[in-house]
Structure 1
């Protein structure tokens, strides 16, 4: 088993360049944002929602409400990930649209989804239900992108011999998904699931209390509690809210993530068992449960066998191969033309709205993009400097992982936006303190994408390769150069893409901060988006969002996608 330089072919056009698909995706996004703007303009002037209590006794109920929203968003994220990532990995024609679209969506700030999601749902559902669904969808937008990229990357880097084995055994689509693809991606999906929950907690404040123009929406939950406490400058309430959040995260770690880590250990691609595999008292307790064993034997196993039998009839045995696509059918052509017409109409209306913006405003937007770009690059460089050594240490040492994994998850999950205003009030007294605080908050919102992916990549390195490196007496530098860094490379690329998008997204809360009724902001595209959302300036919101999206997409297409291609072709376990 070696790090191979081969890759199963995805067609001659596998190298993804900025092209017509990207342009269509951007036009479609412009049309969608315009639809949200029109809904916002025609919306009622005010909305009354429940008052958020800052009494400590409401925190258990608020925690339950927040966890319920997070769980609903996570389940929606997993369904989206499995379907979307698989279509992008195996269908060449779909990949040309889906991957550019994924680049665009992960770079759209959470607040820019508000007019489309919230006001669109209000046109269909009652006000309170629309607000709840909007909160779930907004949390979904902070959870789903790194999961989808991880799933896509795993499917693209499955070893060739495992593909050949599945073809020899004539596994159909369902059994390949169940016995090859999900097990191979299990470690990456679990670690990115933890990152997704951390990202959801980070943006929970924005998802439970949000303002669109004069409309103020408040949903009871931990995020709303922390937001209200920060807005009132109530330090005691902030500490109570953070304590409740930390306890919630620790409970989830013990009852969900540790058992999943112990369970996924069986899916490591190695020939030698690990010396110190991850353990979980709750996982062991479940394994000893007679009730669960009885349920497994009498209910779950028969249901699983019945499902396998049904899937075997529905899907004939055939190997999964990349689909390059043949000629378009008449139905596909008609649907494509119809969708293209809708996109062009919406994009045209959006451009009419953009033309109302003055040249001086466009200059402010350009300066904001440049300032935020510099902060993003600084935060990524700092994140790389510490996450690689720390992530490798945690991922290759289960004893360290057992201690640091819950600690890292807690730190990553605590919304920095709740406690950060306190530090901002101190930092702004220093020269350049506001820019320093923006970089620091952006770093706190983006470094975890890298760390969790590095840990996942390091923990997936086969134990037999580590033993081999020791047997041939490779020194530390040689081990890093020939084993660790090549094995980490695909995970690093995934982490950097999602971290870059996360850094741009975090600019909406790092460049525009409200504390105690006081607004502190600095020059940046994130501050422009937040300010435009709060003021109901939908033309500026549309222009600022599109400027950020175009910038992020260009960076991804010109640099990060080339790194993805390199990871697929040269660095994979085979």
Structure 2
């Protein structure tokens, strides 16, 4: 009750802040001149509905895809490369496909609504799916062997072993997913392509219209304050309690201080959801097991592979050339399909020759140089992010007091859309450094940080919280303190989390390039050379060329895939030796 009162007090302070600021500066006239202001509560509800619908499909997709790829090596051989490719495509790259599939097939406003939900889905899905896949792969071998010995195979293994084991990673991935959805909400509710813009009612479009259409900073400040209050409320009443509850699902074989039964009164309103889910599981769990068993038996040999659970984690044994060829084939097919969908969306079918497009657009030859510029900015942002998140993540995860103070702040930070930060970052940087190229570079890196640092931070926090309680008790028994404790226990334990966060951070950074290298504010365009600004120019051209857009997207995807294949994946395989076994 105390925490709820404190949260409500903070929310009241958030909502009172713009009232005080507008009264002090006399800005009420500008706020009320915005025709959207009276509809702000309705806009919040519309955005929340889109986010919830997108998250529902994210959960279904993430569970099915992540568990299947995590359990079965043959399926993972094809599913993991495809997931890498889809994650490497920026949100803007999915926009033409959304326009074609939904606005053309569904009547009127419904098509745009579904397109918006699809774009939010594309910003949320990968964090959940990768988190689940990694958690399934991290299930200890002795637990797999015990499950087989006791007859937990197929659906029973998934329900009784996999679901509980992946719950902490699922919650961490969901927090990141909602942050990703909020981050691109402005772009998802202001569907712009070529010279046309379709605006859907929502808090994201309210912010975008206040900044880009009306240039009304007080109205943008009001929208940002309401947005922050909504994110803070969701994080405080939903994700924070679920994150605390998730630690009771950490895989370990001995009781410890960290595995005491949870005090549900500490979880606030979300405890009712926990009670409801637990009641459903107790009432219908056995019936569900029996139903699935009958369904599998009826499917015969088709479902026989579901009954098998690998005894140990197994890595790919195929030659590297085979894996590279598979990646290349899937990549080429995906890009050709993307080019066709882009062409269909702008009514330029049949597709022109690729060589003809390259010949008529000589700027395509500069894509490798633009890729180097963008890679250098992302690397700089990544180093800055890693330097502070490593320290802050460990400190916050290890201290309940620091967690209570800073986690809500970081939750809000990771969820704030980059487009909403445009005017404030531009004003701050340009007023400090002037309007030269250096100031735009600094603003670009700051905006890249907003799309990079939170993946690292929350994965580090999740990794620290997942350290088994008996390992912590053993470290106390051996009197490991201060630096010795962190170097021998904490740092090795979080290496998989740091690498998973790094993979997601680099993918998020390439997404953030779209909004960080091309800044349109106050009638002025601030841009720096790079793939993000190139893709913006190509998409916003009067006559967009499908192949030019596809080549820009492909350039981004190739770099992301190359990093994943040659850097992150070998490091991730190496990091598996730091996973806890038999604890």
TM-score (norm 1): 0.82
Corresponding residue SS for 1:238: helix
**1:389 alignment partner, one of 384, 388, 391:** 391
Aligned-partner Cα distance in 2 for 1:294–1:198: 26
Q: Cα distance 1:354–1:174, how it changes in 2: closer, same or farther (>3 A)? A: farther
Q: Is the 8 A contact 2:70 2:133 kept in 1?
A: yes
**2:309 alignment partner, one of 313, 320, 336:** 320
Q: Is the 8 A contact 1:278 1:402 kept in 2?
A: no
Aligned to 1:209: 190
Aligned to 1:30: none
Higher relative contact order (CA 8 A, sep 6+): 1
**2:225 alignment partner, one of 226, 233, 243:** 243
Structure 1: give runs of 5+ residues left out of the alignment.
1-51, 327-338
Aligned to 1:509: 515
Aligned to 1:262: 244
Q: Cα distance 1:278–1:57, how it changes in 2: closer, same or farther (>3 A)? A: farther
Structure 2: give runs of 5+ residues left out of the alignment.
1-32, 298-305, 318-329, 341-349
Aligned to 2:372: 370
Corresponding residue SS for 1:171: coil
Larger relative helix fraction: 2
Q: Is the 8 A contact 2:139 2:165 kept in 1?
A: yes
Aligned to 2:562: 554
Structure 1 residue 216 displacement after superposition: 1.6
Which is worse superposed, 92-101 or 379-388? 92-101
Structure 1 residue 98 displacement after superposition: 1.7
Structure 1 residue 500 displacement after superposition: 0.4
How many residue pairs align between the two structures? Answer: 509
Q: Is the 8 A contact 2:493 2:578 kept in 1?
A: no
Q: Cα distance 1:227–1:175, how it changes in 2: closer, same or farther (>3 A)? A: same
Aligned-partner Cα distance in 2 for 1:434–1:341: 34
Verify: 1:273 aligned to 2:257, yes or no: yes
Aligned-partner Cα distance in 1 for 2:143–2:135: 13
Aligned-partner Cα distance in 2 for 1:341–1:482: 44
TM-score (norm 2): 0.80
**1:176-230 superposed Cα distances (whole Å, 9 cap, x missing partner):** 2122112112112112211111111111001000211132211000110010111
Aligned-partner Cα distance in 1 for 2:332–2:368: 30
**2:470 alignment partner, one of 456, 464, 467:** 464
Aligned-partner Cα distance in 2 for 1:60–1:174: 43
**1:90-124 superposed Cα distances (whole Å, 9 cap, x missing partner):** 33332222212222211211111111121222221
Aligned-partner Cα distance in 1 for 2:86–2:63: 17
**1:11-40 superposed Cα distances (whole Å, 9 cap, x missing partner):** xxxxxxxxxxxxxxxxxxxxxxxxxxxxxx
Q: Is the 8 A contact 1:53 1:225 kept in 2?
A: no
Matches within 5 A, 1:10-409: 54-231=35-212, 232-270=214-252, 271-274=255-258, 283=267, 301-315=282-296, 318-321=307-310, 352-353=353-354, 355-358=356-359, 360-409=362-411
Aligned to 1:537: 544
**1:464-503 superposed Cα distances (whole Å, 9 cap, x missing partner):** 2122223223343332222112211111111000100000
Q: Is the 8 A contact 2:241 2:270 kept in 1?
A: no
Q: Cα distance 1:309–1:284, how it changes in 2: closer, same or farther (>3 A)? A: farther
Structure 1 residue 423 displacement after superposition: 2.4
Q: Cα distance 1:281–1:541, how it changes in 2: closer, same or farther (>3 A)? A: farther
Corresponding residue SS for 2:526: strand
Aligned to 2:524: 518
Structure 1 residue 281 displacement after superposition: 5.3
Corresponding residue SS for 2:155: helix
Q: Cα distance 1:490–1:54, how it changes in 2: closer, same or farther (>3 A)? A: farther
Q: Is the 8 A contact 1:82 1:151 kept in 2?
A: yes
**1:408-453 superposed Cα distances (whole Å, 9 cap, x missing partner):** 1112111132122332244241651111111110011110001010
Corresponding residue SS for 2:139: coil
Q: Is the 8 A contact 1:497 1:560 kept in 2?
A: yes
Structure 1 residue 135 displacement after superposition: 0.6
Structure 1 residue 396 displacement after superposition: 2.0
Q: Is the 8 A contact 1:107 1:549 kept in 2?
A: yes
Matches within 5 A, 1:405-444: 405-428=407-430, 429=434, 432-444=438-450
Q: Cα distance 1:218–1:430, how it changes in 2: closer, same or farther (>3 A)? A: closer
Aligned to 2:452: 446
Q: Is the 8 A contact 1:170 1:319 kept in 2?
A: no
Q: Is the 8 A contact 1:73 1:139 kept in 2?
A: yes
Which is worse superposed, 308-317 or 469-478? 308-317
Supply the RMSD in Å over aligned alpha carbons: 3.1
Corresponding residue SS for 2:357: coil
Q: Cα distance 1:244–1:284, how it changes in 2: closer, same or farther (>3 A)? A: closer
